[in-house]
Amino acid sequence: MKDLEKTLRALADATRLRIIGILLFQEACVCDMQRVLGLAQPLLSRHLAYLRSAGLIRDRRVGTRIYCSLALEGEVGRALREFLQTIMPHFGPFHEDALRMKAHVERSGWMRRGVSDSAQSENRRSGKEGDNEDQSSSVQL
C-alpha cells in the first residue's frame, strides 16, 4: 500500500471504481474486464497502471494474459477493503458490471471446457487456488 493520498486519488475516478468493483469479487484478466466494462484497451491499461502504481492492485502474467487482483494489505488496506465492500453497492454501475462479469465468466468457462485451452484451465484450477487469497469477498449481490 503506497502513499495514502495516492490511494485516495485512485478512488476518485468512476472508471477506476468500476475496475475495483469487479476485482472485489475475484481476480480477473484484463481482456475480460475490457469486454465486460466496455473500455478501450489503452484506457483500461492506463487505469490499471494507475491502480498498480498506487499499490491497490497487483498482477500476474499467464502467457499473453494479465490477471489482476486487489492488493489490500495492512491496516489501511484492510480498512479500505471493508469500506469498499460497504460503499460499492451504492455505486451506480456496480451491480450491472458484476452481473455482466458473472455472465461473462460463465460463458467463458463453458467455452473453455468445450472448445479450447483445457491445459490452461487445469492450470487455473489445480495450481493457482492458493495464490488467490484476494479473491475472497463477502460482497453479496
- Positions that interact with a copy of itself (CB under 8 A): 4-5, 8-9, 11-12, 14, 17, 75-76, 79-80, 82-83, 86-87, 90-92
What is the smallest separation between the CB atom of 125 and a copy of itself, expressed in angstroms?
35
Determine contact, residues 23/70, Cβ cutoff 8 Å. yes
The single-letter DSSP state of residue 59 is: E
Question: Which residues make up the interface to DNA (CB under 7 A)?
Answer: 9, 12-16, 29-31, 34, 40-50, 59, 61-66
Three cell numbers, residue 39: 473500455
Residue nearer to DNA on the CB measure, 82 or 121: 121
Taking the mean position of all CA atoms in its chain, how far away is CA 44? Answer: 12
Residue 54: φ, ψ to 5°: -80, -5
Residue nearer to a copy of itself on the CB measure, 90 or 125: 90
Q: Which stretch of DSSP H or E encloses residue 62?
A: strand 57-62
Partner whose footprint covers residue 139, from DNA, a copy of itself, none (CB < 5 to 8 Å by kind): none
| 111 backbone φψ class: left, alpha, beta (φ>0; ψ -120 to 50) | alpha
What is the smallest separation between the CB atom of 115 and a copy of itself, expressed in angstroms?
40
Going by C-beta distance under 8 Å and a sequence separation of 6 or more, which residues neighbour residue 35? 104
Partner whose footprint covers residue 17, from DNA, a copy of itself, none (CB < 5 to 8 Å by kind): a copy of itself
Residue nearer to a copy of itself on the CB measure, 5 or 133: 5
Residue nearer to DNA on the CB measure, 63 or 114: 63
